[in-house]
Structure 1
Amino acid sequence: MAQDYPVDEARPRRRGRKLLIGLFVLLLLLAGLLVVADRVAVGVAERMIGDRVQQEVTKQGAQSTKPDVEVAGVPFLTQVLDGRYQRISIKLRDVQAPVQGDTVRLSVLNVDARNVRASVDTLRSGQGDVVADTVDGTGTISYESLAALLKRPGLTLGEQNGKLAITGPIDIFGQKVTISGTAEVTVADNGAVALRFNDLDAAGLPNLPIARTALSNFAKSISIDVPLPDLPFQLAVREVRPLPEGLAVTADAKNVPINSAS
């Protein structure tokens, strides 16, 4: 014979179940609010850093589009409380910087700052430094702006089999010839880009010692150390490599205030 349970015992169970469901929904809402607050805080920090970087780039006499800033790491608010951030990435596009009366153009400059330190007061007030233990930068210098620094109109630079190639018309003893060849590209001790044109040829050049000497002298005249503009974030150039899209520059720095780019 089945045993009947009092109706009053079933009601507390239903009430307890509803309470658990309500608590679960409340926790989901709180988690959602925390995620929203976390993302809002990230946006505020990214805008603050982007504005300061733009101001400092302008102070150097350079120009660029508005910096794109990304603060990595989830959740962000725990990093705020700790005052230490995993990584901050900054992208500057169409950078134009003056060098000896000409303009060097970098189509893009990517900056990756790691182990960044910033207090809550700094983020709140915008005052103080956001310091990165290490900063790595990569950029691409257009060949047009690099060729302009040679002060030899008509010469064209580009990439050929991983080397810096040069072509263009020159005048040797009143005869117009077209030169071609490649150069060794290294970083000089002063941070400039060292161009050494050791392998030049000229179509139609007479095979005479005096003509070859003139070509060799021309190669020496354009084998120069090309100064680069002061890069933001105290970046020092470590390596340059010719690529089809331009001269790739790799730079780094340590203990840098990334919200003070000078």
Structure 2
Amino acid sequence: MRGLRIFLIIVVVLGGIFVAVDRIAVNVAENKAAEKIKSSQGLNSTPDVSIKGFPFLTQVLGSELDEVDVKLSGITASAEGRSVQLTEVRAELMNVKIDSSFSSAVAASATGSARISYADLTKSAPKGATVSYAGAERAAKGQVKVTGSISDLLAGSGVSVPESLKALPPLTTYSTVKLEGGDHVKLHADALPALVESRLRKVVDYDLKLDGLPSSIKLDRTTAVEDGIEFSGTGTDVSLAG
């Protein structure tokens, strides 16, 4: 009996040591992977990398990680020289093949997402425009609400505004948000006042470029929610580093 107790104690102690070593190893690997992603993707800040699954060491021995989650900050969007921060960018990578030095990592499949708030969309919008939630029905169509003074919008873009236009009521329109090429967001107003449509459309319709997105994230869907616009996409054979 005494021998059995000693054996069980040894097993517990060794198990604890293994868990501790495993967690240390995964922390070192996460930091190394984060630095590799930062340098290989040309990011301004170090991403937050989380390697899922236990034990980690057996995954390394098999040269494949079950799941790697990456959270990025410092990603920007720009339009006509205006630059704003995206709220967050995330990537979930599954079945990641690695080499012993983590210099190469390729995920069999991945999902990516990004979000930008209406406040930041307004910062990127033409001067005088406010972008906001359009309500559940229009949001389901991928639309946002755009409001502003017509004379302010035209004047902000350098258009000379005659006195007759200054008396026009404030603009309220709905713009459809679309993604092109994985990094370009396009806003297109569905309807504008006929009197100034040609001039106003050049102002209200604009493109927003998502700068600094890692090449492993290819976004192709948009969803309008109450606190902003969410972008998402999937991929296969996605490079995590290198």
Fold in common (TM above 0.5): yes
CA contact (8 A) 1:182 1:200 kept: no
Q: 1:97 to 1:115 in 2, by over 3 A?
A: same
Is 1:118–1:129's contact at 8 Å kept on the other side of the alignment? yes
Amino acid at match of 2:110: V
Matched, 1:153 2:135: no
Deviation per residue, 1:104-162 (Å, 9 max, x gap): 41111111111101122x14xxxx21221222211112334434444x21111111112
1:232 Cα offset (Å): 0.8
Amino acid at match of 2:68: I
**How far, CA to CA, are the matches of 1:119 and 1:254 in structure 2?**
18
Query: Using the alignment, how far apart are the partners of 2:196 and 2:78 within structure 1?
Result: 32
Structure 2 stretches of 5 or more lacking a match?
152-160
2:160 aligned with 1:178:
no
Q: Which amino acid aligns with 2:61?
A: L
| 1:111 to 2:91 alignment | yes
- Percentage of pairs with the same residue: 25
Q: Structure 2 vs 1, CA of residues 68 and 99 (structure 1 numbering), >3 Å: closer, same or farther?
A: same
Please give the secondary structure, in 2, of the residue aligned with 1:52.
helix
CA 1:189 to 1:37, structure 2 compared with 1: closer, same or farther past 3 Å? closer
Residue equivalent to 1:77: 57
Distance 2:15 2:182 in 1: 53
- Whether the 8 Å CA contact 2:64–2:96 is kept in 1: the answer is yes
Moved more, 75-84 or 242-251: 242-251
2:11 maps to which of 19, 23, 27: 27
8 Å contact 1:104–1:228 — kept in the other structure?
no
Query: Higher RCO, 1 or 2 (CA under 8 Å, sep at least 6)?
Result: 2
Task: Give distance in 1, aligned partners of 2:214 and 2:28.
Answer: 22
Give the ranges of 4+ consecutive aligned residues of structure 1 lying more than 6 Å apart after TM superposition.
none
SS in 1 for 2:104: coil
Gaps of 5+ in 1: 1-16, 202-211
User: In structure 2, what is the Cα distance between the partners aligned to 1:131 and 1:144?
Assistant: 36
Separation in 1, partners of 2:81, 2:199 = 25
Relative to structure 1, the CA distance from residue 188 to residue 50 in structure 2 (aligned partners, 3 Å threshold; closer, same or farther) is closer
d(CA) in 2 for partners of 1:100, 1:135:
32
Q: Measured at CA, do residues 97 and 190 of structure 1 come closer, stay the same or move farther in structure 2, by a change above 3 Å?
A: closer
Structure 2: distance between partners of 1:255 and 1:246: 30
Hey, what's the Cα distance between the residues in 2 that align with 1:194 and 1:101?
16
Residue 239 of structure 1 deviates from its aligned partner by 0.8
Pick closer, same or farther for the CA change 1:140–1:157 going to 2, 3 Å: same
Identify the residue that residue 219 of structure 2 maps to in structure 1.
237
Matches within 5 A, 1:32-111: 32-56=16-40, 59=42, 63-64=44-45, 66-96=46-76, 101-111=81-91
Cα distance change, pair 133–106 in 1 and its aligned pair in 2 (3 A): same
CA distance, structure 2, for counterparts of residue 257 and residue 43 of structure 1: 21
Instruction: Give the corresponding residue for 2:154.
Output: none
CA separation in 1, counterparts of 2:213 and 2:178?
Answer: 17
**What's the TM-score, normalizing by structure 1?**
0.75
| 1:140 is aligned to 2:120 | no
Structure showing greater radius of gyration is 1
* Matching residue of 2:210: 228
| Cα distance in 1, alignment partners of residues 76 and 187 from structure 2 | 21
1:18 corresponds to which residue? 2
Secondary structure of 2:241's counterpart equals: coil
